[in-house]
Amino acid sequence: MTVAALFTTAIELTGPQRFLLMLPLCLSIAVVYKTMRLEDVRAIPAASLILWATIVLAMCAVGVGLWAVFSIMV
């Protein structure tokens, strides 16, 4: 019953730390994508980490860019 309660009760997310939830989601996307693409399974961890860092940095760059454009225009 305790295990079921873990999945029936929502977690309350507040504050800027909620953006950290982007990191594991990006990691799972990177791992599955590289698992499908690479033929050598030993290369999956390193390639996944590189792709994960690329996704996160690119999203941060897009976010900063949009924030700068918003700051200039408003």
Partner 1 sequence: MALVPPEPATNPAALAYAPRNALLTGPIAGFLAWLVPGLGHMYLGHRVRGVVCLVTITVTFWTGVAIGGVQATVDPHERTLWFMAQLCTGCNTLAAYGLHSIVEPHPVAGQRPPAVLAHWLSSDVGVHYTGVAGLLNLLAILDALGRADAPSPKRARRDHPPGVPRP
Residues contacting partner 1: total by CB under 8 A: 23
What tokens were used for 15? Answer: 């504050």
State the amino acid at position 11 in one-letter form: I
Cβ closer to partner 1: 39 or 74? 39
Other beta carbons within 10 Å of 30? 21
CB-nearer residue toward partner 1: 1 or 73: 1
Site string for partner 1, 9-48 (x = CB under 8 A): xxxxxx---x--x--xx--xx-xxx-xx----x--x----
Asked if 1 is part of the footprint of partner 1 (rule: CB under 8 A), the reply reads: no
Helix %, strand %, coil % of the chain (to 5) = 85, 0, 15
